Amino acid sequence: METFELSRLTDFDFEAVCKDVFEEEFGLRFEIFTSGADGGVDLRHTYPDGSSLIIQCKHWHRSTRAKLVEHVTKVESVKVAHLNPARYVLATSLTLTRGSKDKLFAALQPYVKSPDDIYGKDEIDALLRKHELVVRRHLRLWLTSASVLNSLLVKNIVTRSQALVRELEQTLLTYAVNPSYVRALEILETKRVCVIAGIPGVGKTTLAHILCAQYLRDGYELVEISEDAEEVNHIWDDEVKQVYYYDDFLGQTTLDEKLGKNEDGRLLSLMKRVARDPSKRLILTTREYILAQAKQRYERLDRHSFDPQMYVLDLKNYTFRCRASILYNHVYNSPLPASVKASFASPEIYRPIIEHRNFNPRIVAATLAEAELLSDQPDLAPSDILANLEDPHRLWDHIVTHQLSDTDVKLLKVIFSFLANIRLKDLQDLWGMYGESLRDLKKTLSILDGTMLKTSQRLGEIHVGFHNPSVRDYFVNLIQSDSAELVSLMSLVRYYEQFEALWLQFPAPGNGPMLSTYKELKRELEEAAVTAFRAIPFDAHSRRGAPVIDFARRAWVYLEIGRDVGSAVIRGMGLEAVAENKERMNAANGAVDYNALLQILDEDETPEGRHAFADAVTSAIEWALADISDWTLIDEAERVLLNVEHYAPGAEVEEALETLESVRYEYAKDAIDDWSQPHEGPVSSAAEMKEIIDYYRAIPDAPHFDGFETAEEAVYGIDWEHLSAFSGRRSDQENRPTWAAAREVEHMMQTLRNANSPDSEFFQRGH
């Protein structure tokens, strides 16, 4: 039997639910009264003869039955006698015993006609089960129903991501319903894949969490993707409904932290695979500018039409009413003192916040979290929110400058020096390299975890990263504005990944604004480069097999830095990496590395540069042909070879292209033959087969063979419109409130005056 967690509703939520469910139950319309001025009235229906039916809503889930009975006997009974309604109904989120109902009935006679007009939690649950449309109307109500919350505790979900479970539960408390949910859900139901894009802090992760909760409620297994798309292949279960969630699938702040070798191909393959399976859903989030970078750099991503599967979350989606709900929900569920919560009920306080041009849900949430951390001055929370909206970097600057020790800040910089989260074991080893104690690391982690850092468990191991991308954004701004901070960061470099992150996180390439700073600090940069050059990959001991160094990538990064900064030392290491890569061509990290390497060496007219260019051409050709065992790898090899042909045309690359074309032709014939056979699980996917069929059709005088028409009919019989067509629209809603919206918001914010804890001033005053 379905039950509902009424304790997770805010005061305003509870009142709104009562209004809707009693309207359905009684077949009457009720008007709602602003808290604090009702004189004992929350909901009222006026009959034609002037008499009234009054419903009083008491969301006292944190109090006790005894206190409720005492309050009703001493306070509400006096109010109801003064109102003299024809009928009076009491609704409370407390579970009532028969004895407590009898006492309440006795105190409220003759206005309460029978004990049946006193509704406790059990009675309200029964009404909600009876009126399912009311439940559906209140997203926060049904997403906190027992069926959803219980599904969060399923063993296999907890094992995969305990941190995600905690985050989902918190999101369910603070989410404010808005049209983005309906649109994103529509995309998921029609396309089965939804990419949620938007600016930092706009609510992408929050929306993704709510969608995950929706599918949990519908019986799906939740799978969080933490590292790369390949994880799904190990967890995929044809017999189980599954929803896959991949937050920041292209990286938090830069593209390069996520897309390893062939990851673009794996991502697209996963999206196509999910789109074909009615029992699967895929939810991805990314910043818009990172997706734009990915499409510029990766041809396969650029060719893919994301539009049908993408929902761009825009602040314009947040109406006056929605912004107010975001603020209200975070304040209501915060640990702020009752008096501070009550201050947000004033229009002079809440309107400047929700109407601010930089309104951002993350800043609201983070500022209130900071108010909890700085518990000596919680009354400054309203003004701090405004100040942080005006200057978002102020939020973290206050904590870093005034609250953290040097060791705390050092750990934050270490985390910043990598582009991705770090395994705790790796962090402990690195921390020891700095001469720091593990005891201090443990202490610092306990301080920062939950505020600026977040620990999570993946496949049995703990990982450490920033709590949200705004912390990394803060450090980017801090280091850009202070060269001493950049020197401090350079001194932490022990691995190549840290050195590359220096270059990628700051706009130095191409005569960027940080270039002059790097030139001034050339000696420190060279020291970091030397330290990092031959370091094994940071995560090498967590991977199977011998460490593999990607010298192609190191070559172009060092050559680019050496060229732009004017460092012969760094350039020399780049040329050395080219020679190393000639012997270890299998280590290259995809076509992007070779394309960038060839471009930068093509510009180098020095003798050593021309020699390195020749080595790079040979390595690129060998790498391209080393593994061409599937259609995706053939495509990638072709891109590399065409790029080589652009910079170094000649017989060597022409011969390689002919070899590749021969392999492609034979692969296409085998795939078509495979699809023409009546069996389950063909090697090539439907989307890939469409490309193969189109390729074979375009071959002049291609020989006809048995099975081609069968495969062609099988591929083109698929509903491609269902798989790929759509339109993701932005909302153009205005944020100016209507009179009705302003009144509704005023009423909602007024409920903050009624602090809902038993030991609050509200209860102590006997209200």
Tell whether the model's pLDDT for residue 374 goes beyond 70: no
Q: Which domain holds residue 130?
A: 6-138
Residues 253, 110: one domain? Answer: no
CB atoms closer than 10 angstroms to residue 583: 10
Residues 110, 167: one domain? Answer: no
> Of 95, 113, 138, at which residue does a domain stop?
138
Region 683-696: mean pLDDT is: 79
Residues 275, 238: one domain? Answer: yes
Residues 118, 80: one domain? Answer: yes
Residues 696-712 have pLDDT tens digits of: 888 887 777 777 888 87
Closest CA to 142 of 28, 329, 43, 13: 13
Residues 163, 312: one domain? Answer: yes
**Residue 692 to residue 631: CA distance in whole angstroms:** 8
Query: Which CATH number belongs to the domain containing residue 183 in this structure?
Result: 3.40.50.300
**Residue 394 to residue 391: CA distance in whole angstroms:** 6
On whether residue 552 sits in a domain, the answer given is no
On whether residue 521 sits in a domain, the answer given is no
Residues 160, 290: one domain? Answer: yes
Pick the most confident of 150-154, 182-186, 677-681: 182-186
Please state, rounded to an integer, the average pLDDT across all residues of the chain. 82
DSSP run (H or E) holding 757: none
Confidence bin at 354 (pLDDT 50/70/90): very high
pLDDT at 116: 93
Q: Which residue carries 């890569």 as its tokens?
A: 581
Amino acid present at 83: L
On whether residue 376 sits in a domain, the answer given is no
On whether residue 527 sits in a domain, the answer given is no
Residues 57, 180: one domain? Answer: no
Among the listed ranges 60-64, 293-297, 314-318, 435-439, which one has the minimum average pLDDT value? 293-297
pLDDT at 723: 42
On whether residue 654 sits in a domain, the answer given is no
Tell whether the model's pLDDT for residue 534 goes beyond 80: yes
Region 378-398: mean pLDDT is: 84
Residues 243-264 have pLDDT tens digits of: 999 988 887 655 555 555 556 7
**Residue 600 to residue 604: CA distance in whole angstroms:** 7
On whether residue 198 sits in a domain, the answer given is yes
Pick the most confident of 7-21, 578-592, 677-691: 7-21
On whether residue 99 sits in a domain, the answer given is yes
Tell whether the model's pLDDT for residue 150 goes beyond 60: no
Residues 131-142 have pLDDT tens digits of: 988 887 887 777
> Of 138, 154, 186, at which residue does a domain stop?
138
Structure token digits, residue 160: 């995969």
pLDDT at 586: 47
Structure token digits, residue 88: 């009076």
The DSSP call for residue 138 is: -
**Greater pLDDT, 729 or 756:** 756
pLDDT at 681: 59
pLDDT at 410: 96
CB atoms closer than 10 angstroms to residue 481: 10
684 to 123, 193, 235: CA distances (angstroms): 56, 20, 20
Would you say 763 and 63 are in contact if contact means Cβ atoms under 8 Å apart?
yes
Residues 132, 151: one domain? Answer: no
* Sign of the torsion angle spanned by Cα atoms 666, 667, 671, 672: negative
pLDDT at 510: 59
Tell whether the model's pLDDT for residue 761 goes beyond 50: no
Residues 20, 129: one domain? Answer: yes
- Residue 505 neighbours by CB under 8 Å, 6+ apart: 253, 254, 416, 419, 476
Instruction: Work out how many domains the chain is built from and give that number.
Output: 3
pLDDT at 757: 43
Confidence bin at 29 (pLDDT 50/70/90): very high
Would you say 66 and 27 are in contact if contact means Cβ atoms under 8 Å apart?
no
Residues 112, 176: one domain? Answer: no
- Residue 730 neighbours by CB under 8 Å, 6+ apart: 312, 314, 316
Residues 124, 156: one domain? Answer: no
Residues β-bridged to residue 55: 43, 89
Confidence bin at 54 (pLDDT 50/70/90): very high
Instruction: State percent of the chain over pLDDT 70.
Output: 82
Q: What is the largest CA-CA distance in the chain?
A: 103
pLDDT at 646: 93
Helices (H), 54-197: 65-71, 77-83, 98-108, 121-130, 132-137, 139-142, 146-151, 155-160, 162-174, 179-191
Would you say 757 and 333 are in contact if contact means Cβ atoms under 8 Å apart?
no
Query: Which CATH number belongs to the domain containing residue 117 in this structure?
Result: 3.40.1350
On whether residue 630 sits in a domain, the answer given is no
Residues 155, 277: one domain? Answer: yes
Residues 306-315 have pLDDT tens digits of: 777 777 877 7
> Of 289, 317, 345, at which residue does a domain stop?
317
Tell whether the model's pLDDT for residue 350 goes beyond 80: yes
